[in-house]
Structure formats: C-alpha cells, structure tokens
Chains A and B, each alone.
Chain A
Amino acid sequence: MAKKEDLILLGLSESKAAETLKNAKLTETIGTIIASAKQAGEINKPRGNLLYQLATKLKPQVAPSAPLVVKYIMNDGIKTEPQLSAAIEYLLSNTVKGIEVSAFEKSCGVGVVVTIDDIEDAVTKVIGEHREKIVAERYSFPVGKLLGELRALLPWADGAVTKKEVDLRFLELLGPKTAEDLAPKKKEKKAEAPKAAKDTAKTNGTSSSSDNKKKEAASTVEADFSEGAETMDELLRTRAHFHKVGENFKTDGYVTTPKTAELLKAHVAAVGGKVVTRFPPEPNGVLHIGHAKAININFGYAKAMGGVCNLRFDDTNPEKEEEKFFTAIEDIVNWLGYNPARVTHSSDNFEQLYLWAVKLIEKGHAFVCHQKVEEMRGFEVQLSPWRERPIEENLQLFEDMKHGKFDEGEATLRLKLTLEEGKVDPVAYRIKYVPHHRTGDKWCIYPTYDYTHCLCDSIENITHSLCTKEFQSRRSSYYWLCNALDIYCPVQWEYGRLNVNYTVVSKRKILKLITTKTVNDWDDPRLFTLTALRRRGIPSEAINRFVAKLGLTMSQMVIDPHVLDATVRDYLNVHAPRTMAVLDGLKLTIENFAELNLPSTADVPDFPSDPSDPRKHSVSVDKEIFIEKTDYKPDDSDKSFRRLTPKQSVGLKHIGLVLRFVKEIKDAEGHVTEVVVKAEKLTEGEKPKAFIHWVAKPVSAEVRLYDRLFKSKNPEDAQAVPGGFLSDINTDSLTVLYNALIDRSIAASKEYDRFQFERIGFFCVDKDSSDAKLVFNRTVMLKDGGAAGGK
C-alpha cells in the first residue's frame, strides 16, 4: 500500500494524493511500483510522473510484468509518455505469447535519443508538405493532423516539445491570430440534427432509483445526442472501441490461463478473423424498444466490421416458452433490417452443457445442494452445508437429479464461486418437471442463464459478447466458467440499457394489461413492444436511427416517448406522402361552385415541402366539401381564431380558393349541420389569414388516436404510484373516430401504408382494416400538435 508521501513523491499534489488514496486498488498498485522503483534508484520528478502514469494505465492481466517497465523508467530507458504507452501496449499484446526483452526495448524505443534538431527537421518537413493549405486555412487548419504525422516520423519525441515547435512555426508563417481567426468557427454541416436534439430529450442516469432528489437532478440534464451518430453503421465504426478479434486478452479484466494462447489461436482460425456477435433473447415474451438497442448493437457491430451475428434463442426455461414467441422474434429482427447468420438455440447444447457440468463436478468446481430458494436469497446468506461433499457423492446425486429422483426444488447444482456483488455459489442446474419444446421429455434438469450463457457464447465462437450493464456483475463468473472448463473465453462488453418513460415493458405486466382488457394485445399501439410500434406505424428505419443517436453510453437511459416521436417525425416527413383527411367533418356547400368553372379534380404534390419531388396525386373537387368542425367558429369573439367565421374568410389548400361565409343551416335541435359559403379565386392582393385542408367526395374511415397509456413517468415506481401500475392507467389513451373522411385517392391503401394527414399528423393503415372500411392509427402528431383531433 502506498502512503501519501509516496504519492507526493510521484509528483501528485496534496489534494490529488488524498483523492488517489481513496482508490484502494490503484493505491495498492502504486505501492508495489514504488517499492520496486526505490530499489532501483532515486525517484525524480519525470520518473515519478511516468511511474504514476504506469500505475494508472496498467491493466491487471499484465501487472506481473510491471517491474520490467519500472526498471526501464528508473534507468531512463523509458523517458516519455509515448514510450510508456508503447511499452504497456507491447506487454498487453505479448503477455499471452511470452515477453522478449529485446523486442520489448525495440517496441518502446529504449535507448533512442531524439534531439531538438531531429524535431526541428521533422517539423520543417511536415509543414512544408502542407504549406499551401495552412496559409489558406490559417489557424483553422487541424493541427492534430500535423502532430499525428510527426508522431509517425519521430515516435519517441517528447510531444510537448514537438507541439511547441509547431506553434512557433505557425506564428512565423501566419503571424499572430487576427480577429477573424478568433471568431467562432462556422459549422460546416447544415444543422438538421439539432432540430430533433432540441426536443428536450431527457436522459436520466439513475433511472428507476427511488431517490427522488437524485432523480430530479438527473432529469434536468438535456440529452443532446452528443454520444450518438446518424446511423448504426457510423456509430459502431467510430464510437465502439472494442478489442480486435483474437486480442481478447487486451481488454480490462480478461483473465488469461496457460491455455489462452492456444485457445485464441484456434478461435481466430474458426471465425476466420471476423467478428461474430449474437442477439440472445429469451423466447418467453415479445421484444420491446429496449431490445431494439440490443439488436442494433449486436447486428450492427457485426455488419460494420464485416462479421456475422447469430440469433440465439436462450431457451433454458421450458416453463415460459411458447412457439409463437420464436417466430415473432425472428420476424422483428428481420423487420429491423437484419438477417441472422445462423438461428441457434441454447437447447441445442444441452448435452454438451450437461457433460461440462459433470466435468466441473469432477474438478471439484460444482456441488449438489439442497438449500431452498429462500435460503439462497437475501442478505447474509448461509454458506451451503453441502458445499464440501465428496466428488463421488456429487456425481451420483447429479445423476439422481437427472433421473428424476428428486422433487422440484429438492436439489440444485451450484458452482463454487463468489460473484462481485457477493452472491455466493450461483445455481447452474435446477429440476423442472416440464417438457421442453425442442428437447421434448429428454431432460428434467435445466441449466440456468448464468451457466448457459457464456458456454453457448464459447461454443458459437462469439468474439464480442455484448450485453446490458446489469450483467457487468456476472462478468467474472462468465470468465471463471470458461476458464474452469479450459474452453475458449469470449469477451463480455457492456452498454447501458434503454428504458422509456410512461410505459411498462415487462412481460408479466403487459400480460396483466391484456387480461384486464386495458390494451388489446401484445401489439396494441399504445405499448412499446416492437410489434406495437410497428403497428402504430413507426418505420424500422426510424427506430434504428433513434438507437444510433442515443449512442453507446454505459449509463442506463430513460427516454421520454416524445424523443422517439421526434425521430419518427423527421423520418416520416420525407417518406410519408401527404394527403388531406378530415377527422370530424363539417359540410360546406359552395353556392357559386358552377360559376367558378373548376375542373373535377386537382393535382396535389405528395411532398410539397420539396418542390423538386415530382410525385403527386389527384383529389376530387366538388360543390360540397368537408372541413374540420374546429376550423369553423359561428361567432367572431375570439380574435386569435384565424380560420372561417361569419366575418372572416379562409383559404382552401392546394386549389387556391377563398371561402366567405354565407349562412348556417341548423337542424331541429339547433346544431349546425352545414355552412353555405361563397368561393372566389385567390388573388395576390387579399390573402386570407389561414389555409385549411378539406376533402370532397370523401370515403369514410375509422381513425384511432393514441395517447400515453400511463399518467406517471414511471408507473412502476412504488413511491410515485403507490397503487401499482394498474392504478396509473390513463383512461383516455384511446379515442376512436368512426367517421373520419379520407380522400378517395388513398382508399385502396394496404396495411402499414403511411401518410401525413395535412395539418393533423402521421397515420398508418392498421391490420384491422377491411375492404369496406380502412382503419388508421395515428403514429405521431405534427410538431405543433396538429390542427385538429388532438386533445
């Protein structure tokens, strides 16, 4: 253990030293480093600095080689940070193969002396090559690029000296910075993303923590998608800093054994040097928005790296699996645009897993336990009294488990291992007297997730086992198990889970919503299952882009639904053709229609926002038209109302007519049933305040408007919603309009056809549609909430 004086000796400030002391692990490393350094000589400031760098950068798997580096720091063989980095990199790359001192010296430039002259020459050369551009771009020229080139020329030169030299030359060449140089740089890219970014995406680092104070603080942070990218491909190529295939040992925490080198060699040969990932859902429910991230990261990373990704059904719990989930999951993966290289099942490996379990018992790594589940859970768990039973007995009892001699819960097979979180001896096998949909009645012992997952990864030669952060605590057991069996050990990488506010995604809870008839099925568009989102009309491209924008952060994020909506809107705006539809119609009769001499149809562009887009459709024009009831007000008292009133005229979109009020026609009860208007052609001079949408000779359709299903941000938070999530239902989450009026041109649409109903929002044809009547789901509203139909 290092003491404070030691740290100060390394050049740390008083406060920094105190801070460092809190990190027990680092302090310990520093302690050993200083101990060996003190034997070699006096620690001066530059040496101290390097030693400290060494302590912070050293990865545990190369810690045994630290004294070698210390030796070279102390004899001034390693004098600069680049040298140190190269030294550590060398150790990391070769710890598995074996370290040779001469190669080590060469790799980090021991004994290489770089003089000021060398640096000056190199800078002259590099600046000479870029001279023209530098003069043109002046100080906005990327200096980093130059420094990079210099590093390649003189790898062991002191970076600070080089930088100083470059700055000096710039000054010589360009003179001091002018006012223009100091002005903020203009952004080169057109600001298109910020639009969405401004949609106040709120991320929340701690999510469902019941600590309210913390939550408030966290939720004020505005997500700016700064970690994200426009596409998954870009994100994973630029932001995913995973290890190279076969260099598993370079990652933090990877545990090597004498067999690692040999196993990795075989592994690299097996995968042909290509990335292999997998998406491993349990087939016991449908996928939700959180899975979209997992699918995108696994499939996306493989795609970006030119590798392959498997779809593996983690079907180790026969009680909860149903055939329909398998097909649904595969369907969704395809929908998101990915094709699995192979579809595998954990159950394919049951025989191998069983043989390995026997091997673990034989090696003394596993035992049969009779503790009850309750005894294994909770705090201060008693160690199993069966932990030390003889191997022979364990083998016999495990056979007995397999042969059905124990009742469910009477015996489990447990691994002798303590997890990071303090959980002791995780269960590897438990008894279930339930047939498995793939292995039939072959087994009554089934492996657990903890046991199965890593071994199946190993069998499939997965290069990167990507999973959400909850599994970080299982990483050590993952590595332990593969190593205990002397099989190839993949690397587990974690990323933050994606959660969405105002919804629930757990299978059990959705099922409850279905059985209580709160929603209709797993794909009810108010849910955030992927089938529900698809049915609501959200395109898979928008979902993928949404995930890409969120980036690869480690923290768990909780996103408000409108952040997704914004991405969807951006996508649909340029992909869904516009049409006019009236949700709640009011009949208008144009009394002078005949005089206007209008054609019976008019052409309307599909994408009016892009004048270069030639696509268009034609709409009927008639004496009788329908407008939204909300676009007409029978009195003029509301000055902010800009549409049709008895005194105020209004324009009709796309056909250049202006309507003026003539009279109202009312029914016996006094309700307005019709408004008679007079039309005139739009002239340059007098423009009405607003233009509204309309339909003529329309077709009736059903339109379903959705709102949030829950009133609270986190319906599962027991503090905010003490009555449970079912008490938090928004009873007005679904509004059905049975007599919306759509234009005849879209009457023949098919399921999933999407449109922008002008001034209202984006809509998609639902599967409930029949030949007689189309049904539309509102996918998202327009940004301003739409002209009508909203709340």
Chain B
Amino acid sequence: MSVNKELQQRYSEYSAALDQAALLTRLITAMEKGELTDELLEHTPELAEVKKLNDKLKYRKSILEKSIAEQAAKNKKNGVKASAPTDSKSTAPADKKAKNDGKTGGAAPKQSKKVDYVTVEDFGSSILGRLQKLFKTAIADAFPGLDLPLLLAETPNPQFGDYQCTSAMPIAAKLKSTGVNKKPGDVAKEIEAKLPTNVDFIEKVNVLPAGFMNIFLNKDYICKQISQLASKGITLPKVAKKRVLVDFSSPNIAKEMHVGHLRSTIIGDSICRLFEAVGFDVLRVNHIGDWGTQFGMLIAHLYDRFPDFLKKLPDIADLQAFYKESKKRFDEDEVFKKRAYECVVKLQSHEEEIVKAWNTICDVSKKYNQIVYDHLDIKIKDVGESFYQDKMVELIKWIKENKPDMIREEEGRLIMFPSECTVPLTVVKSDGGFTYDTSDLAALKYRMLEEKVDWNIYVVDAGQNLHLESIYAAGRDLEWYDINIHRVEHVGFGLVLGEDRKKFKTRSGETVRLLDLLSEGVKRATEKLKEKGREAVMTEEELAAARDAVAFGCVKYADLSHTRTQDYVFSFDRMLDDRGNTAVYLLYAYARIRSIVRTSGITDAQLAEYVSKNPILPLNHPAELKLAKQLLKLSDCILQVLDSLMLHQMCDYVYQLATLFHDFYNECYVIEKKDGEPPVVHFHRLALCEVTANVISTCFKILGIREVPKM
C-alpha cells in the first residue's frame, strides 16, 4: 500500500501544480484582455464586489428607465406631454420636490405642459445637441408619428463609442403594441439608414443586434474644433434672444440679510450671469420687502431716537437692535402703538416728512445690504413692494373690469380661486388692505404686460412653491401670458443646514448674519493660504485677491454645486478643502494651468501662429482626446443648464474637466526635459492647456467666481 500511497501523493502534487499553473495563465490572459471571467472575479474579491455593485446599478438604471417610459406613456394617455428625460438625474429632484409638496398638503397647480423655451440657433461646438437633432429627425423619418422620447446619452465605457442611442428598444416595444413585430436590432438599422451620411463629427455608428446604436465621434473633427477654440476663443451656442427678468435675493428692509437670503442671492446671480453669457437682455430685480405696517413703529421710533434724522443720516450701527427696540415698545407701550399706526396712515397718504423717514430707514438698510452684494460681486436693482402700492389698486380695478368672474366676495374679503387650486388667493382683506397675494399678482402683471418680459424667473425658497404656483395659475387664468411663449418659473431651493443637519444657526441659536458669515470665510481663507505657505511666494495684492476669491468663491461654489432643490450642509471645512469638488480645488487647478502656459516661455503670438498653421491639432494620446471631448461639451452643458436652471450641472462639468486635465497632465508632458538637451515644448498640448483654462474661466464667470492667475 505504501508504494500506492506515494504514487497517489506524487500524482496529486503534480496535478495540483499543473492546475495552478494553468489557472494563473488563464487569470493573466483574462486580465490582459480585460475580460471579467468568473475565475478572475473569484480571485479578486474586491473587483468582484465592485462588479456586483456596478451590475446592480446598471440593473436599477434599466428599471428606472423603463418606469420613466411607462410613466411617459401613461402621461401621454392622460394628455400630459412628457419632458424628454435624457437621464435619471433630472427626474430625481423632481420626485423629491413632489414628496415635499405632498407633505405640506395640497399639491400646487403645476403648469401641465413642458415647453422647450430655449430655441437654439447654432449649437456651436455642442455635440450632444447636434446628435439629438440628427437622431430625432432620423427617427421621425423612419417611424413617423411615434412620439417617444429620444434616448441618447454618453457612454461610460469607450468600448461602446462616445454616445449611445437606445431608442430602438422602446420603439420596437411600441411597434409591437400596434401589431408590428420588429426586432430592436432591425429598428436600429432602419434609423441608421435615415441618418445623413458624411456627418462631419461622426466617425461611425455601430448597430448592435440588441438594438444599441453606438456612436463614435470623428477624431479629426474633435482636433479641428479644439484648434478653432484655441484660435478664435470660446464660443457659446447661439440661442434666440430673450428679455428675461430674474427675481432674486429679496431681503426685508430693516432686518439684516441672513443666511436664508444666501441661496437666493447666489443662485439668482448665477442664473443672471448665464443668461447674460448667451446674450439675453436681463433684468436683475430685487423684490425687497420695503412696505408694510412694521414701518409705522420704525418711523415712530426713529423720531424718538434720532430727532435730527432729517438733517443727518442717523448712525444706526445695528439695525437689528433698532428693530427689536421698536418692536418691544410697540408691544408694551399703548401710546407708542397708537403713534405707530398714525405713522402708517401718514405713510400710505405719502405725507412728505414721513416718506423721508421711511427713505432714511430704507437707505440705512440698503447700505448694509450693499456691503454683502459688493463682496459677492452682485448687481441688482431694487423694485420693492412699495413700487407696487399704486399698482395694486389698479390691479383690483383691472380685474373688476376685465375678469369680474374670477373674484368673489366672501366674509368681506375678495378672494380668487385660480384653476386647479384648492387654497384661494386673498386679493383684498376684509379691512380693505392688501396681502402678499395682491402684491405678487401686481408684480406679475407689471412684469408680463408692462415690462413685457419673455421669461420671468423667481428664485425663491422651495417652501413658497404652493403660493407662487397659485399666483402663476391666476396669471394664466387672467391671460397675462401664454405658457407656450412665456416662461414663468419658480426656481426653488432647499435649506441651508448646519453640520448637525439642522437649520443653520449660530451657537447661541440665532440666525447667522450674512456679513458675519462672509467675514468668517475671509478669516478661514487667510488661514488656509498661510497653511499652504502662499504668503512667501505672492505679493500682498496677489494674496489679498486670492484670499477674497477663495473666501467668497468657496461659499458660492458650495451652494451652487449642490443639487439646488435639496438641502445642503454648510461647512467651511469642507468647502475650503483643496481636494474634491470645491472652489479651492478649481482655483488651484486654474492657476496651475495658467502657470504652465506662463512658464513655458512661449508667447501668445507664437502659440497663435502654431494654431493657425495646424487647423487640425495632432491629438493622439487617449488622455488628450478625453480632455478634448470634455472641452467640447461646454456647449451641451450651457444648453442643459439653460433648460434646467440647475447650476450644479455646470459645477459637475467644470470639476470633471479639472480632473481630466489632471489626468492628462500626469500622463502627457507639455514641456519635456531630457538630460543635456534643451526642453521640448509640445505645442498642441500647450494649446490644449490654453483652451482648458479659457473654458474654466468661462465657467467661473457664469458661476460668479473670481479667478486669480496665481494661487
């Protein structure tokens, strides 16, 4: 038996070694080919884990896409036209919003139709926009009358080309429901046949049997576009010009601006910048709260505290405290209360001295607000509630004359039930006074009929949604505007939260004053720059510029980079981190790119000459091409944000651009230094750097971030 045993042992050792060798060979082959074989996954548990997660996410994506398609079909049946949901991102916030509405009870009457308000005249360097147009036309040619949303998106895996159109599957399904049996693959082939040939930017379209259409971009086209961007500068898509009013910031007089006003101010300004960038005529409107009964007590208190206010602008250091004092007296002192009411009556009858007092208070308040606006580079024009005082009287008259059926009297009040609204608007109170409903209606009427704006955008917190949608519904009922032409939209946003995920407060529990917050930002930015040893290499002015750019840029960027409709946590530590999606990271990246060009020793003229001689830049390295493609997406990004007014999409874009540049710079020498030889400058890469910096600069301008060439 012992010989047998030994034989058995030797044999099993030999075959085990053989198996092991064969296994390793298989694993290496699989790795080289990039094939995720079961065996490979078994030996790389982390990879297996990640693959599993990836598979699940893909599966979930397909389920979500199907659900959206189902919902779209259902909506269509019910007569609701669906927006073209190209990705699930744009639907997620909508859901969240819907849920919030559900909580507050009584859904807002939504404009039931989604209209494309952006008319593109020239897509510029936009690829997605052009592709969508091509495919929409081809599908309409091949399968007229189907009316399904186009499914076309970037592909995560270069194996499947740059973009992928998956419309063939829903089309095949739709055809099947009408009794036509066609495989998705055949549908895709028919679509392909209708695509124009020789499209300059498409290299090829691969149709897979399952119906996927993989689109590969033409390399030369990309190289040409980059060369043009380098020679002619950044061009944005051309969009039909609009007259646009953006209502944002809107603080109350006599109360200091606090963190609650931060989001409206930052988002509103950025939206204005975007509109201005594409050449719109923009009215930046501050609908300040400068009218109301509280002015009676403030004026009365002003007379007592600063009797000589008519001669000299009173020195009210702390308006907040002034407000509190007068409120206390108003609540406790009956005589004072009476005087305060008298002041209100006098103000409403425009008694000169009282109006002066009112102006004084407004001026003090506005002076303070202006400091904040200056820090944040914000321009805005006050058209406050006081502006609409006479217009409200006119409004009631107008309604009574033109649309008497719309209002009705109830318990002495005049109320109005706009279509699909469960809560009525109170137009005139029982005491004859007006409400916010009245002033907002008057403002809407003025903006649409007198200012004649095409778009009227309200940047107001999400909590006001129900109110605003009711006002819009009333506006539609009163036929002040046509939703097919006029875009009247509430751009809502979530709360600013503290790091404890509760409403942002000071340690003592008070609301945070905006000015204090910004000062804190400056302090933190100074520390950050010191920590990096910047003061050693920069002049005092450069340092100050960098400090302010960091301090105010980080606050703005943190706000803009979060999905607008959701709450976000305010954290200086996070927004000043120089890694991750922060202004600091981007500012560093930008300064670095500029410095690469600056220190290359190549003059602008030399570079311009090179570019003019190379209308097709020789981009070959995968990292170069990846970066180039991202650069060309700027136009897509602009068009997308014009439609969604979601600025985080632009933040995502520029952040991705910065990381791709980082990858590019790690893999490709711009200036190659070899021992003993003079450095070689790769001009095409230098051009790529220049274009990247310019694109980032363009984004900074829209986001309202000050760029600094040195950090």
Evaluate contact between B59 and A435: CB separation under 8 angstroms.
Answer: yes
For residue B1, CB closer than 8 A to chain A, the reply is yes
Residue of A nearest to B92 (CB): A405
For residue A112, CB closer than 8 A to chain B, the reply is no
In the complex, what distance in Å separates the CA atom of A722 from the CA atom of B56?
37
For residue B8, CB closer than 8 A to chain A, the reply is yes
For residue A441, CB closer than 8 A to chain B, the reply is yes
How near does chain B come to A518, taking the closest CB pair, in angstroms?
Answer: 13
Which A415-443 residues sit within 8 Å CB-CB of chain B?
433-435, 441
Residue of B nearest to A407 (CB): B60
For residue A355, CB closer than 8 A to chain B, the reply is no
Residue of B nearest to A432 (CB): B56
Using Cβ atoms and an 8 Å threshold, which residues of chain A touch B62? 441
Using Cβ atoms and an 8 Å threshold, which residues of chain A touch B55? 433-434
In the complex, what distance in Å separates the CA atom of A421 from the CA atom of B67?
39
Residue of B nearest to A396 (CB): B102
In the complex, what distance in Å separates the CA atom of A402 from the CA atom of B67?
9
For residue A738, CB closer than 8 A to chain B, the reply is yes
Evaluate contact between A736 and B67: CB separation under 8 angstroms.
Answer: no
**Interface size class, chain B:** 10 to 19
Which B29-72 residues sit within 8 Å CB-CB of chain A?
55-57, 59-60, 62-64, 66-67, 70
Evaluate contact between B63 and A444: CB separation under 8 angstroms.
Answer: yes
Evaluate contact between A403 and B8: CB separation under 8 angstroms.
Answer: no
Evaluate contact between A433 and B67: CB separation under 8 angstroms.
Answer: no
In the complex, what distance in Å separates the CA atom of A402 from the CA atom of B63?
8
Q: Per-residue CB proximity of A392-424 to B under 8 Å, as 1/0?
A: 000000000011110110000000000000000
Evaluate contact between B63 and A736: CB separation under 8 angstroms.
Answer: no
Evaluate contact between A434 and B4: CB separation under 8 angstroms.
Answer: no
Using Cβ atoms and an 8 Å threshold, which residues of chain B touch A255? none
Using Cβ atoms and an 8 Å threshold, which residues of chain B touch A738? 4, 7-8
Evaluate contact between B4 and A433: CB separation under 8 angstroms.
Answer: no
In the complex, what distance in Å separates the CA atom of A58 from the CA atom of B25?
72
Using Cβ atoms and an 8 Å threshold, which residues of chain B touch A737? 4
- In the complex with contacts A403-B67, A584-B4, A737-B4, A433-B95 CB distance below 8 A: no
For residue A739, CB closer than 8 A to chain B, the reply is yes
Q: Per-residue CB proximity of B89-117 to A under 8 Å, as 1/0?
A: 00000010000000000000000000000
How near does chain A come to B412, taking the closest CB pair, in angstroms?
Answer: 37
In-complex Cβ contact of A404 among B8, B16, B67 (8 A): B67
How near does chain A come to B49, taking the closest CB pair, in angstroms?
Answer: 14
Contact count A vs B, C-beta below 8 Å? 42
- In the complex with contacts A434-B56, A736-B8, A738-B7, A441-B1 CB distance below 8 A: no
In the complex, what distance in Å separates the CA atom of A584 from the CA atom of B2?
11
In-complex Cβ contact of B63 among A403, A517, A735 (8 A): A403
How near does chain A come to B208, taking the closest CB pair, in angstroms?
Answer: 17
In the complex, what distance in Å separates the CA atom of A623 from the CA atom of B59?
74
How near does chain B come to A732, taking the closest CB pair, in angstroms?
Answer: 10
In the complex, what distance in Å separates the CA atom of A404 from the CA atom of B61?
8
Evaluate contact between B57 and A433: CB separation under 8 angstroms.
Answer: yes
In the complex, what distance in Å separates the CA atom of A619 from the CA atom of B95?
84
Evaluate contact between B8 and A444: CB separation under 8 angstroms.
Answer: no
Evaluate contact between A403 and B64: CB separation under 8 angstroms.
Answer: yes
Evaluate contact between B95 and A408: CB separation under 8 angstroms.
Answer: no
Using Cβ atoms and an 8 Å threshold, which residues of chain A touch B70? 403
In the complex, what distance in Å separates the CA atom of A393 from the CA atom of B455?
36
In the complex, what distance in Å separates the CA atom of A255 from the CA atom of B7?
67
In the complex, what distance in Å separates the CA atom of A517 from the CA atom of B95?
52
- In the complex with contacts A434-B56, A738-B7, A404-B1 CB distance below 8 A: no
How near does chain B come to A680, taking the closest CB pair, in angstroms?
Answer: 32
Using Cβ atoms and an 8 Å threshold, which residues of chain A touch B60? 404, 407, 433, 444
Name the residue among A408, A433, A735 with the largest chain B CB count within 10 angstroms: A433
Evaluate contact between A441 and B7: CB separation under 8 angstroms.
Answer: no
In the complex, what distance in Å separates the CA atom of A735 from the CA atom of B12?
12
Using Cβ atoms and an 8 Å threshold, which residues of chain A touch B57? 433
Evaluate contact between A433 and B63: CB separation under 8 angstroms.
Answer: yes
Evaluate contact between B4 and A441: CB separation under 8 angstroms.
Answer: no
In the complex, what distance in Å separates the CA atom of A735 from the CA atom of B66?
57
Using Cβ atoms and an 8 Å threshold, which residues of chain B touch A404? 60, 63-64, 67
In the complex, what distance in Å separates the CA atom of A42 from the CA atom of B60?
73
Evaluate contact between B56 and A408: CB separation under 8 angstroms.
Answer: yes
In the complex, what distance in Å separates the CA atom of A517 from the CA atom of B55?
29
Residue of A nearest to B61 (CB): A404
Evaluate contact between B59 and A434: CB separation under 8 angstroms.
Answer: yes
In the complex, what distance in Å separates the CA atom of A542 from the CA atom of B31?
49
In the complex, what distance in Å separates the CA atom of A129 from the CA atom of B445?
113
How near does chain B come to A353, taking the closest CB pair, in angstroms?
Answer: 18
Which A160-179 residues sit within 8 Å CB-CB of chain B?
none
Using Cβ atoms and an 8 Å threshold, which residues of chain B touch A739? 4
Name the residue among A408, A444, A517, A584 with the largest chain B CB count within 10 angstroms: A444
How near does chain A come to B521, taking the closest CB pair, in angstroms?
Answer: 35
How near does chain B come to A791, taking the closest CB pair, in angstroms?
Answer: 10
Residue of B nearest to A431 (CB): B60
In the complex, what distance in Å separates the CA atom of A156 from the CA atom of B540?
118
Residue of B nearest to A443 (CB): B63
In the complex, what distance in Å separates the CA atom of A434 from the CA atom of B51?
12
In the complex, what distance in Å separates the CA atom of A552 from the CA atom of B465?
69
Residue of B nearest to A393 (CB): B102
Q: Can you name 15 A-B pairs with beta carbons within 8 Å? A: A403-B63, A403-B64, A403-B67, A404-B64, A405-B67, A408-B56, A433-B57, A433-B59, A433-B60, A441-B59, A441-B62, A444-B63, A517-B16, A735-B8, A737-B4
Residues on A close to B: CB < 8 A? Answer: 402-405, 407-408, 433-435, 441, 444, 517, 584, 735-739
Closest 3 CB pairs of A and B: A403-B67, A404-B63, A433-B56
Residues on B close to A: CB < 8 A? Answer: 1, 4, 7-8, 16, 55-57, 59-60, 62-64, 66-67, 70, 95
**Known interface pairs A403-B63, A433-B59, A433-B60; 7 further A-B residue pairs with C-beta atoms within 8 A, sorted by A's residue number:** A435-B59, A441-B59, A584-B1, A736-B4, A737-B4, A738-B4, A739-B4
